[in-house]
Copies of this chain bind each other. A is one copy, B any other.
Amino acid sequence: MNEIKTKQQYDRKEEVPSLDFRIINWVGIIDQLTSTKMRQLLDGSDVPPPQFVLLNHFSHRPEEGKTVSGVADAMQQPQPGITKTIAKMLAKGFLRAEENPEDGRSKTLYLTKAGKTAHAAAKARLEEGMQHTFDGWREWEKKDFFAFLDRLKIYLDDHREDRLS
């Protein structure tokens, strides 16, 4: 991305994208592939992928209540989408909402027993289906890989200008 290319180079028959570009591109492809896999693995369960992602989030420190906008921010997604997913999860009883007596606008969301159960079942399916993904990887390789991902994520996170609602 930060290479300056001459017109000459652009005109080559086969254009080779920069490493920067390819990294971003590969991340997109991997996300595509894992999302597809995840959808297949969760197919037929009562937890579609968007809800699994939220269940995942709620499982992290489950005793703490979360707000819609808090979840939206953590998920780095626009609030309206989160509202809709949460509405479905409330309807299914995976979450429960508590009115906030201090502030009539907001409500606090908690994972229910049913939500925990659904999450565990979905997670088991995914773990089962993806257990061989990193076969052959050394532990340090996974750590190094994750460190690269984290470094990139932190940069992108720090430099995004949306700061969702």
Tally of contact residues, A, Cβ under 8 A? 65
What residues of B have a CB within 8 angstroms of the CB of A60 in the complex? Answer: 14-15
Copies of this chain, whole number: 2
A99 at the interface (CB under 8 A from B): no
Contact B31 A142 (CB under 8 A): no
Contact A63 B13 (CB under 8 A): yes
- Secondary structure class of chain A's binding surface, majority of residues: helix
Contact B133 A156 (CB under 8 A): yes
Residues of A within 8 A of B (CB): 1-2, 10, 13-15, 17, 19-37, 40, 56, 59-63, 76-77, 120, 126-127, 130-135, 137, 139, 141-146, 148-153, 155-157, 159-162
